[in-house]
Amino acid sequence: MWTKEDIKDQTGKTIIVTGANTGIGYETALALYEKGANVIIASRDLIKAEQAADKICKTKSAGSVKTEVLDLTNYESIRNFAVIIQKKHSKIDVLINNAGIMMPPPGQTADGHESQFGVNFLGHFALTGLLFPLLKEAGQARIVTVSSGANVLSAGIDYDNLKLQKSYDANREYADSKLANMIFLYELQRRIDQSKGNVLSVGAHPGVVYTDLQRHIEKETLKAAFAQFDEVMQPWQGALPSLFAATVTDVQGGDYFGPDGAKELTGYPAKSSLISGIAKDTTQGAKLWDYAENATGVKFIF
């Protein structure tokens, strides 16, 4: 049973956690700070980020916590964030792409993409690409993509409906965005391997956790959904797969972790089998990569 107490010393490491002002992201940032890391909370809401940082800092540690504004719906904000990080830091040891939205009303990002696909995937694609030079400077950095077991529910990405050209289904679009995360995880590792790079692309899903992520789901609907589970985990436990992927020594590129309980709903970190058959398809990987480059204007320098 692996917990955050098993995390090795992270002193000297610079770690970015997106969406770390609340929920799983907050618990991830807290655990890494407690182990001595210099953590950067990247959040759209600076006030909430600073409140989270203040709360984290009440625990004594050799680490530090800083905050920076990052709006994943807006490429200008993402580029501004990257510029600030590049000015302040010579390397990044771990980037945890944790932030996300789940089943909101229909909406679009600044460039017109459906909001879940835009935030959960495209925003993090752009962020990772812009920060990739700093990740390469770290020796063996890690990029942790936080996905969801919902990736297996996607029938495949409909490229003709990524800007709501046809219809909107909150569940479908969420699953598609999480499938995109999975395809990205594996395609990124393939490209790193081809370039003989030393960065690891890994991933995790939290299992069934009650967090602010479900704020767009009606209370009665959410209550009924959770009632079918014998146990619903707290955010600290949902953060463990991400923490495992980010810190355990023998993690390999392309590894993906989730809870070890029945159907990977609850438990402690282990290799996950909740992986869509589409996720590792090289043709799909290349197609999504090309789309993301064109949509964001960001190209990775391997």
Instruction: Give the residue numbers annotated as catalytic, written as ranges.
Output: 174
What is the number of alpha carbons within 13 Å of residue 259 lying toward its C-beta?
22
How many CB atoms are located within 10 Å of the residue 132 CB?
Answer: 24
* Spatial distance between the Cα atoms of 191 and 119, rounded to a whole number of angstroms: 23
Instruction: Report which of 181, 170, 43, 68 is spatially closest to residue 115, judged by C-alpha positions.
Output: 170
Instruction: Report which of 24, 33, 43 is spatially closest to residue 81, judged by C-alpha positions.
Output: 43
Instruction: Report which of 68, 35, 74 is spatially closest to residue 49, judged by C-alpha positions.
Output: 68
What's CA 130's distance to the chain center, in Å? 16
What's CA 42's distance to the chain center, in Å? 12
* Spatial distance between the Cα atoms of 29 and 117, rounded to a whole number of angstroms: 24
* Spatial distance between the Cα atoms of 251 and 148, rounded to a whole number of angstroms: 19
| Distances from the Cα of 291 to the Cα of 92, 139, 249, 260, 266, angstroms | 26, 29, 33, 34, 34
Q: What ranges make up the beta strands (E) of the chain?
A: 14-18, 38-43, 64-69, 94-97, 142-146, 200-204, 256-259, 269-271
Instruction: Report which of 241, 122, 125 is spatially closest to residue 173, judged by C-alpha positions.
Output: 122
* Spatial distance between the Cα atoms of 172 and 175, rounded to a whole number of angstroms: 5
